[in-house]
Amino acid sequence: MGYGRRALIAAAVAGTLAVGLSGCGGGGGGKQDDGKPSASAGGSKKSPSPAGSDSGSDSPSDAPVLAQIKGAQDIAVTINSAVRDPGGFVTVQGTLTNNGSDTFDADAWRGNEVALAPSGASAAGAVLIDEAGKKRYYVLRDTDGKCLCTMGLTGVEPKESRPFFAQFPAPPAATTEVEFELPTMPPAKITISEG
């Protein structure tokens, strides 16, 4: 599938992009008021499946849960794995579920960067934040400028779930706790495992 090709491209460009994709900055405001979107960490100790594996083998109840984020329009994002690959990147995988009554399009998740427009409705605006190292890691891109993430997140019907993934440059090996942020959603703390 296209994912394998994209992973190879990511490995090739990761070194070049790592400097440009990481910069100063801490977390992006994890404060929340009552009635606002929320994020919670899961307590599952089950080992996540390796990046690139077909998550179709796990039923939703069997999949590990690193964190669950609940946002506007009753959209829920469950993060099932964050795996550090020997190639120098981290792949975050999970599921988007529309618990609302209206069809959902993830246009806002692409982020505001004009260069990410080719990615369309996608998880291109996702960020990993290493608070201890004071660095932000943005989603990797292929040679066409498209994100190495799930694209085509449009027309998600009420009660429908869809898998998603996003690949980032890997933080230093000593960094295992990061914050995952997706535009319009609250941040969530996740743990990176070794692939």
Q: Quick one: pLDDT at residue 135?
A: 96
Beta strand segments in 85-172, E: 89-98, 127-130, 135-138, 161-169
Whole-angstrom distance, CA of residue 37 vs CA of residue 12: 37
Q: Quick one: pLDDT at residue 29?
A: 41
Spatial contact of 104 and 98, defined as CB atoms under 8 Å apart: yes
Q: What is the mean pLDDT of each run of 10 residues along the chain (195 residues)?
A: 45 38 40 45 41 41 85 93 94 96 92 80 94 93 90 94 96 94 94 91
Q: Quick one: pLDDT at residue 28?
A: 41
